[in-house]
């Protein structure tokens, strides 16, 4: 139901009950303004992280491509680079996948249409919940090998070694810390704003049902 239709039906019902027309535009405008404000926060925050991620990982992928290219152009100077190819592959897959994930998140809020308020809020909530679930599953799978690679690179840089089980343990620990930190961030930002959207949706649903 579009916003204009909702206003008309609401006013008609109130006129039947009270015998006089009652203006509900102020209430609806408050809901609309609050929803627009929340969508603005969600959209601007999402675009910020999308641009930051895009620039960071694009640079990382370029560095990997240059390193691989140097190996083929000057194989005598980079004889051990083939040992790093599995590492580059893991990091490259992680970077490309993360770019795609953040791009999909940015698209979530494009469905918002203030002229179709209820349906827009429902679509945003449904699409974000699905995105968050799938992205969390992805990070649960990918974080351990990525952190393992980072630990190996760091140890090699300092010419240090650790037992394999210890490296795995640190990788799992860093993965858990990252997942918990990620959830806390979303709980304090996205989830809080989305809860307010749910409240707006509930008000609209209750009004349309009355």
Tens of pLDDT, residue by residue over 14-63, are 455 554 444 456 677 778 888 888 888 999 999 999 999 999 999 988 98
Tens of pLDDT, residue by residue over 140-181, are 999 999 999 999 888 887 888 899 999 999 999 999 999 999
Q: State the pLDDT confidence band at 118, using cuts at 50, 70 and 90.
A: confident
Q: Which residues of 170-201 are buried (b: 16+ CB within 10 A; e: fewer)?
A: ebeebbeeeeeeeeeebeeebeebbeebeebb
Q: What is the mean pLDDT of the chain?
A: 82
Question: pTM here?
Answer: 0.78
At residue 20, the pLDDT reads 45
Q: Regarding predicted confidence, which is higher, 28 or 137?
A: 137
Give the rounded percent of residues in the chain with a pLDDT score beyond 90. 45
Q: What are the boundaries of each domain within the chain?
A: 3-209
């Amino acid at each position: 139901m579009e916003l204009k239709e909702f206003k008309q039906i609401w006013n008609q019902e109130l006129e039947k009950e009270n015998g006089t027309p009652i203006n509900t535009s102020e209430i609806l405008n408050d809901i609309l303004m609050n929803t627009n404000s929340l969508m603005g926060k969600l959209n601007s925050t999402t675009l910020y992280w999308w641009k930051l991620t895009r620039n960071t990982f694009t640079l990382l992928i370029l560095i990997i491509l240059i390193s691989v290219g140097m190996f083929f152009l000057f194989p005598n100077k980079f004889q051990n680079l083939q040992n790093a190819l599995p590492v580059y592959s893991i990091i490259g897959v992680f970077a490309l996948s993360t770019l795609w994930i953040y791009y999909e998140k940015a698209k979530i809020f494009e469905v918002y249409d203030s002229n179709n308020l209820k349906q827009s809020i429902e679509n945003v909530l449904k699409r974000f919940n699905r995105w968050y679930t799938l992205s969390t599953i992805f990070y649960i799978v990918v974080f351990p090998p990525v952190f393992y690679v980072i630990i190996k690179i760091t140890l090699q840089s300092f010419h240090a070694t650790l037992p394999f089980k210890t490296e795995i343990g640190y990788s799992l620990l860093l993965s858990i810390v990252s997942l918990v930190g990620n959830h806390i961030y979303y709980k304090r930002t996205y989830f809080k704003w989305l809860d307010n959207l749910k409240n707006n949706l509930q008000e609209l649903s209750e009004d349309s049902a009355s």
